Amino acid sequence: MSQQHAPQTGPLNRPVDERAFNHAVNLPTLPARVPGILLFLLVPFILGLGIAISCYIASGVSLGLFFGPVLLITFAASPLALRGAPNKRLLTCVALTFGIWIFWLLAAHLSAMNLLRCGLVLFSYITALAGGAALIERLRIGPVFASAIMVLLGTAWLTWPVWLCTWLDGPHAEAVVHGLTAIHPLMAINGVLFERFNFWDRYTIAYQQLTSLNQDIFYALPRTIMWMVLVHLSIGAGALIRSR
């Protein structure tokens, strides 16, 4: 026969409110929404981790392991950021970045400083995507269309070394390329990893089929990630703050 436990009572045989008791003696309590936030962030974290693992399977430890996630996350960052409340969008960017970054930490064997630089570039770019989509959504455009527009803009931005070079000509072409290169996410990562992987445009598929950079138009990789990070974080963080 099961026994029933009587409720706790005080000195006057009155039931004790456990919540009030815990508050009175300052016992630490876990906010009820914390598990919900962790569950909410688990989706972007697993997606980022899956993207990094897929790129590793496809290309091993090469520039593809770093370029691939940046390219693929362009299609996921905006929809994931807009699925939640405005105050959770920056956390979504952190979770996406961490999912990719943690795999770089485990598989790429980079120095701590280079790993930090690549992570900052990735986070800045993801934040710019999320902020741009949030800003477009404020124009009374639905989240689906806002995300689609940002995917197109992000893809065009990442791939300008492929499509823009065919249109660049004249004495100012190199100056334009130099300015764009200084704030480009993939160029910034290539600059960090240059000693290990060399120029991206030296790979066969790049110089034969994709781009004329360093053939018709010469350029130099960024020496610092500072400008790339500043530009993208200013756009992304500013837009996310305004969208609240």
- For residue 20, tell me if it sits in a domain: no
- For residue 9, tell me if it sits in a domain: no
Mean of pLDDT over the chain = 83
- For residue 8, tell me if it sits in a domain: no
pLDDT at residue 83, as a whole number? 86
Question: Taking the chain (244 residues) in consecutive chunks of 10 residues, what is each chunk's mean pLDDT?
Answer: 49 48 45 69 94 96 94 95 86 96 95 96 97 92 93 94 77 83 94 87 60 70 94 92 76
Query: Using CA atoms in the order 150, 69, 57, 214, what is the torsion angle rounded to 10 degrees?
Result: 100
- For residue 228, tell me if it sits in a domain: yes
pLDDT at residue 177, as a whole number? 84
Angle at 161 between CA 195 and CA 188, to 5 degrees: 35
- For residue 173, tell me if it sits in a domain: yes
pLDDT at residue 173, as a whole number? 77
pLDDT at residue 165, as a whole number? 75
- For residue 93, tell me if it sits in a domain: yes
Indicate the number of domains in the chain.
1
Note the pTM of the prediction, 2 decimals: 0.81
Q: How far is CA 189 from CA 13, 104, 107, 168, 172, in A?
A: 69, 13, 16, 24, 25
Model pLDDT for residues 50-71, shown as the tens digit of each residue: 999 999 999 999 999 999 999 9
Domain that includes residue 213, residue range: 34-242
What single string gives the DSSP state of each residue in the chain? -PPPPPPPB-TTSPBP-HHHHHHHTT-----TTHHHHHHHHHHHHHHHHHHHHHHHHHH-SSHHHHHHHHHHHTTTHHHHHHTS-GGGHHHHHHHHHHHHHHHHHHHT---HHHHHHHHHHHHHHHHHHHHHHHHHHTTT--HHHHHHHHHHHHHHHHTHHHHTTTT--STTHHHHHHHHHHT-HHHHHHHHTHHHH--GGGSHHIIIII--BTTTB-----S-SHHHHHHHHHHHHHHHHHT-
